[in-house]
Amino acid sequence: MFHGSGLFALLLMVLEWTRPGLSSPLRPICDLRVLDLYIKEAWDAEAAIRACKDDCSSATNFTVPLTSVDFDVWEAMNIEEQAQEVQSGIHVLNEAISSLQAFNQTDVIQSHIDATISNIVSIRQVLRSLSIPEYVPPTSGGEDKETQKASSVSELFQIHVNFLRGKVRLLLASAPVCHQGVS
C-alpha cells in the first residue's frame, strides 16, 4: 500500500507539471504573419470555390458573422467588446463550415474545407495565447445580432476571408499582450 500511494503521488506530480488538457500559458503569438498565412489559405479556398461556380456543393443558407468594420466605431470599442465580436464570429463560421461536411462535394473542395476547419482551430489557439477572452454564448432567448445569411458556399468562403482580414486581424494587431512595455 505504501508503494501504491507513492506511485499515486508521483503521478499527480507529473500531471500537475504537464497539466494535460488544461489551458497552459502559451507563448503569445504577436506575429501577424501567422494569421496572414491562414488568410492566404482562405483566399485560395475562396478562389477554388468561386471557380466551380456553386456547383461544388448543394448546401445553402448559412448563418455567417458580419464582416464590416467601421474604423471609427471599432476604435471606440474596448478590447473585451472587440474580443467578444471576434470570438462569436469565429464560432458562427466554424459551425457553418463544419455543416458542409454533411453534403457531397468534390475532393478539391473537401480538402479546402478541412484546411479551413483546421485553421480556425489554430486561430483560436492564437487568440488564447494572447489572453483574448473566450467566446461566451449569448443568453438563452437572445439572437446574435452580429450575423447574416449566406446563400451559397462561395459566399460563405468570401465571408470567411473578409472576417479574418478585418476583425480578427484588427484584434490581434491591438492585443494588449503584444504592446506591453510600449508607451
Partner 1 sequence: MRKMDGNGLKVVFMLCLAFVTTGGQSFESTVSQLLRDETEDLKCFVDRKKDLTCFWEVEEARNDQYTFMYSFENKKKMPCVVSSRFVLASNKTVFFCKLPKTLFFVALDVQVFRDGRTLYNRSLKAENVFFVDPPRNLTVMSSGKEGQLNVSWLPPLLKHMDDIMIYEVRYAVEGSHMGKVEEKAASTMLVLRDLQSGTRYKVWVRVKLDGVSYKSYWSSWTDPVFADTLPSDMDLLIVLLVLSIGLILFLLSLTVILSHHKFLLKKLWPDIPTPEHKFPGLFTVYKGDFKEWMSQNNGSIWGRSVHVFTEEPPSPVEILSEVSPTSYDTSPREERKPTEEVEESERTDSGLMGGWREPPHANWLMEQLRALQENPESLSQSTLLQSHDTYVALNQNSQHVQEVSERQTDDVFEETLPLQALFTTEGTSSLSASHSDLGSLPQSSGSGRLSSQSSFEDPNHTWPPKGPGYTYMAVADSGISMDYSPMSSSNIAELRKHRIYTNEYKNEIFGNKWPFSSQHVESGY
| Of positions 91, 167, 171, 175, contacts partner 1 by CB under 8 A | 167
Q: Is 162 in the site for partner 1 (CB under 8 A)?
A: yes
Q: Is 122 in the site for partner 1 (CB under 8 A)?
A: no
Q: Is 166 in the site for partner 1 (CB under 8 A)?
A: yes
Report angle CA 71, 74, 75 to the nearest 5 degrees: 85
Q: Is 111 in the site for partner 1 (CB under 8 A)?
A: no
Q: What cell was used for 175?
A: 492585443
Q: Which of residues 24-63 bind partner 1 (CB under 8 A)?
A: 32, 36, 39-40
Q: Is 70 in the site for partner 1 (CB under 8 A)?
A: yes
Distance of closest approach, residue 143 Cβ to partner 1, in angstroms:
18
Distance of closest approach, residue 173 Cβ to partner 1, in angstroms:
5
- Give the separation between CA 116 and CA 141, rounded to whole angstroms: 30
| Of positions 18, 58, 61, 68, contacts partner 1 by CB under 8 A | 68
- Give the separation between CA 65 and CA 79, rounded to whole angstroms: 18
DSSP assigned state of 99: G
C-alpha distances (whole Å) from 9 to each of 24, 45, 101, 110, 183 are: 21, 50, 45, 47, 47
Q: What cell was used for 45?
A: 479556398
Binding positions for partner 1, rule: CB under 8 A: 32, 36, 39-40, 66-71, 148, 162-163, 165-167, 169-170, 173-174
